């Protein structure tokens, strides 16, 4: 746990895994066989339980089990006769306390989560379940309270929230960096009278930015959702959303595989817009992705790209344009490959990037 | 006909890029870095449309300007790097949200299209 929590005194009592040792104390408050069963059950359960008597002045605790004593650090003699509020402390949320008061007044059942304090001053998050118990004549006899220490859950929730907030902040800043870089390129391009070059550079920068965009928010996971990255990269080429058919599952991959794939998809889409399936009104492109094993049993990410319905291909076009060269160089650095075939109905390409992590 | 567009953006390079993109297609741009400047710009000019950066630093958002523009029936787009932070109030104004990074030309094209329809 972080230093913060120990400094504030928040401490889990590990209630779910703690053994309960029955105390020797004899009680005679609960008579008969059902009383005996009650005593035995209450002695064994890890659920901290107490009963209060609302007919007595200030609704004091008249019974508490061993788990209650272990949870709070007080012994029975220190507990009996006191109102439950002695477990509250400076940071106990009074709104939750008010709910307890209301439930007691209305004789209703309530479950609240509140910060309670042990005898040693340390605190714990307590899920308190409270409800009335009536006798056979329907008269209010006790209030039943069960306490469960949920400090661990609280802490993991807080850590998760913190991690998510951090990831979002990083994501936000990085997107801004991409936007600023785009601005620099455009402004420089204008001043040097090279707008077309600037535009091309910028399109690639934007494609790269988009590859990471939907996944940065969960970057703390260390992997990237392939499908989301692919959809984001290709979204601008399909404003109506009816030209791409995405076939893939929720596979995640390592971030370094995504740069090369994102830029290659950008080049393929640019090419398709000029000459291929996106250059007319009917063409479609099926994009499929999956993790595969190669002959050496190494994992790889495979993305396939199949164009249909575009202009008929009469002869194999030249794939040595700058864009494809950049993609190939990048893929090569990632030890990946780009294979392309040109049947008359449209380009069929396959991108393969080996993965270095074994766990994926 | 040359129109005037408002750019509300606290990052100078992005503002400049958008300004140039507006000038490229023969229009004029007024750049504001906060809501106060934007309000002044709306008072001083006939604004045909606006691009609003959502987060303006120090926790300030473009919401006051968005409301002002809505009251004047001036079309605008929201330009942001953090879609989650757009917030309910801004979403309720129903303006298109353009995620950053996005080519300045595309942002302007979208806005000009809206202004021409308005």
Pick B83 or A6 by higher pLDDT. B83
Number of domains in chain A: 2
User: By mean pLDDT, which of A122-126, A300-304, A327-331, B104-108 is the weakest?
Assistant: A327-331
Contact A179 B99 (CB under 8 A): no
Residue A248 lies in a domain: yes
- Residue B53's domain comprises 4-117
pLDDT score at A222:
65
- Could you give the ipTM of this predicted complex? 0.72
Pick A81 or B87 by higher pLDDT. A81
Instruction: Check whether A7 has a pLDDT greater than 80.
Output: no
Residues A197 and A246 in one domain: yes
Which residue blocks in A59-114 are alpha helix, DSSP H? 66-72, 76-79, 94-106
How high is the mean pLDDT of chain B? 88
> For A110-135, what is each residue's pLDDT tens digit?
999 999 999 999 999 999 999 999 98
Pick B101 or A234 by higher pLDDT. A234
Pick B84 or A145 by higher pLDDT. A145
Residue A223 near residue A253, CB atoms below 8 Å: yes
Instruction: Check whether A332 has a pLDDT greater than 90.
Output: no
Cα gap A278→B107, rounded to integer Å:
22
> For A240-264, what is each residue's pLDDT tens digit?
889 999 998 778 877 767 878 888 9
Min Cα distance A81 → chain B (Å) is: 51
Instruction: Check whether A102 has a pLDDT greater than 60.
Output: yes
Residues A142 and A218 in one domain: no
pLDDT score at B85:
66
Residues A136 and A160 in one domain: no
DSSP string, A210-240: HHHHHHHTTGGGSSEEHHHHHHHHHGGG-TT
Instruction: Check whether A322 has a pLDDT greater than 70.
Output: no
- A5: pLDDT confidence band, cut at 50, 70 and 90? very low
Instruction: Check whether A16 has a pLDDT greater than 80.
Output: no
Number of domains in chain B: 1
Interface test with A, best of B81, B87, B105 (most A CBs within 10 A): B81
Among A149, A176, A200, which residue terminates a domain? A149
Min Cα distance B85 → chain A (Å) is: 10
Q: How far is CA A167 from the centre of its chain?
A: 11
Nearest CA in chain A to B15: A183
Quick one: which of B76, B75, B83 has its CA closest to B101?
B83
> For A261-277, what is each residue's pLDDT tens digit?
888 999 899 889 988 99
What is the H or E stretch that residue A63 is in? strand A61-64
Q: Give mean pLDDT, residues A314-341.
A: 79
Q: Give mean pLDDT, residues A155-167.
A: 83
pLDDT score at A26:
47
Residues A205 and A64 in one domain: no
Residues A209 and A343 in one domain: yes
B21 interfacial to chain A (CB closer than 8 Å) = yes
Cα gap B33→B52, rounded to integer Å:
10
Alpha-carbon distance values, A240 to A66, A90, A235, A278, A284 (Å): 66, 57, 9, 12, 12
Chain A residues with CB within 8 Å of chain B CB:
168, 171-173, 175-176, 178-184, 186-187, 190, 199, 202-203, 205-206, 209-210, 213, 217, 236
Instruction: Check whether A21 has a pLDDT greater than 70.
Output: no
Residues A316 and A174 in one domain: yes
Contact B17 A168 (CB under 8 A): no
- A215: pLDDT confidence band, cut at 50, 70 and 90? low
Contact B101 A184 (CB under 8 A): no
- A29: pLDDT confidence band, cut at 50, 70 and 90? low
Q: What is the CATH number of the domain that holds B72?
A: 3.40.50.2300
pLDDT score at A302:
92
- A163: pLDDT confidence band, cut at 50, 70 and 90? confident
Q: What is the CATH number of the domain that holds A140?
A: 3.30.450.20
Quick one: which of A175, A168, A157 has its CA closest to B84?
A168
Residue A56 lies in a domain: yes
Residue A359 lies in a domain: no
Residue A360 lies in a domain: no
DSSP string, A36-53: HHHHHHHHH-SSEEEEE-
Cα gap A9→A122, rounded to integer Å:
5
Nearest CA in chain B to A210: B101
pLDDT score at A14:
79
Give contacts of B57 with chain A, Cβ < 8 Å. Answer: none
Give contacts of B13 with chain A, Cβ < 8 Å. Answer: 180, 183-184, 187
How high is the mean pLDDT of chain A? 84
Residue A282 lies in a domain: yes
Contact B17 A182 (CB under 8 A): yes
Residue B31 near residue B19, CB atoms below 8 Å: yes
Q: What 8-state DSSP symbol labels residue A120? A: T
Contact A187 B102 (CB under 8 A): no
pLDDT score at B84:
66
- A360: pLDDT confidence band, cut at 50, 70 and 90? very low
- A51: pLDDT confidence band, cut at 50, 70 and 90? very high
Residue A114 near residue A128, CB atoms below 8 Å: yes
> For B1-59, what is each residue's pLDDT tens digit?
899 999 999 888 888 889 989 998 999 999 999 999 999 999 999 999 999 998 887 77
Cα gap A253→A222, rounded to integer Å:
9
Pick A324 or A83 by higher pLDDT. A83
Contact A172 B14 (CB under 8 A): no
Pick B59 or A93 by higher pLDDT. A93
Residues A166 and A226 in one domain: yes
- Round the CA-based radius of gyration of chain B to a whole number and report it: 13
Instruction: Check whether A108 has a pLDDT greater than 70.
Output: yes
| Residue A21: exposure state from Cβ atoms within 10 A (0-12, 13-18, ≥19) | exposed
Interface A:B, Cβ pairs < 8 A: 63
Residues A182 and A159 in one domain: yes
From A168, A175, A180, residue closest to B13, measured CB to CB: A180
From A171, A178, A190, residue closest to B101, measured CB to CB: A178
Residues A103 and A190 in one domain: no
Residues A126 and A246 in one domain: no
Q: Give mean pLDDT, residues A184-196.
A: 85
Residues A184 and A145 in one domain: no
Residues A165 and A304 in one domain: yes
Instruction: Check whether A31 has a pLDDT greater than 70.
Output: no
Among A128, A149, A170, which residue terminates a domain? A149
Q: What is the CATH number of the domain that holds A206?
A: 3.30.565.10
- Residue A214's domain comprises 154-354
């Amino acid at each position: 746990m972080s230093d913060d929590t120990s400094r504030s005194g928040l401490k889990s009592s590990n209630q779910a895994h703690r053994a309960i040792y029955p105390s020797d104390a004899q009680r005679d408050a609960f008579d008969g066989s059902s009383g005996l069963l009650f005593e035995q059950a209450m002695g064994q359960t890890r659920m901290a339980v107490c009963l209060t008597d609302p007919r007595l002045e200030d609704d004091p605790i008249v019974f508490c089990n061993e788990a209650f004593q272990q949870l709070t650090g007080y012994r029975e003699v220190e507990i009996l006769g006191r109102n439950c509020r002695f477990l509250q402390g400076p940071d106990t949320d009074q709104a939750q306390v008010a709910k307890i008061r209301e439930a007691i007044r209305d004789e209703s059942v309530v479950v609240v989560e509140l910060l309670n304090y042990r005898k040693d001053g340390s605190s714990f998050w307590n899920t308190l379940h409270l409800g009335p118990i009536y006798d056979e004549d329907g008269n209010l006899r006790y209030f039943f309270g069960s306490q469960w220490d949920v400090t661990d859950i609280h802490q993991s929730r807080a850590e998760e929230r913190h991690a998510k907030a951090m990831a979002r902040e990083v994501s936000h800043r990085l997107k801004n960096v991409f936007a600023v870089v785009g601005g620099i390129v455009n402004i420089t391009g204008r001043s040097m009278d090279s707008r077309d070059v600037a535009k091309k550079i910028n399109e690639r920068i934007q494609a790269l930015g988009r590859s990471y965009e939907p996944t940065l928010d969960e970057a703390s996971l260390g992997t990237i959702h392939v499908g989301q990255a692919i959809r984001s990269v290709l979204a601008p080429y399909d404003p109506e959303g009816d030209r791409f058919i995405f076939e893939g599952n929720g596979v995640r991959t390592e971030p370094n595989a995504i740069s090369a794939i994102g830029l290659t998809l950008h080049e393929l889409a640019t090419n398709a817009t000029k000459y291929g399936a996106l250059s007319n009104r009917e063409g479609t492109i099926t994009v499929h992705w999956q993790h595969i094993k190669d002959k050496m049993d190494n994992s790889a990410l495979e993305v396939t790209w199949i164009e249909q319905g575009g202009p008929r291909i009469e002869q194999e076009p030249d794939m040595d344009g700058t864009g494809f060269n950049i993609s190939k160089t990048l893929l090569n650095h990632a030890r990946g490959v780009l294979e392309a075939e040109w049947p008359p109905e449209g380009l069929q390409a396959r991108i393969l990037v080996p993965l270095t992590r074994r766990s994926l | 006909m040359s129109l005037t567009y408002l750019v509300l953006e606290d990052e100078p390079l992005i503002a400049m890029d958008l300004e140039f993109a507006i000038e490229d297609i023969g229009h004029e741009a007024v750049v504001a870095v906060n809501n106060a400047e934007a309000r002044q710009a709306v008072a001083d000019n006939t604004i045909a449309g606006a691009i609003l950066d959502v987060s303006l630093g120090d926790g300030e958002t473009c919401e006051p300007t968005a409301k002002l523009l809505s009251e004047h029936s001036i079309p605008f787009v929201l330009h942001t790097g953090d879609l989650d932070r757009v917030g309910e109030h801004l979403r309720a104004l129903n303006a298109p949200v353009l995620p950053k990074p996005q080519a300045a030309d595309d942002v302007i094209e979208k806005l000009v299209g809206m202004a021409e329809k308005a």
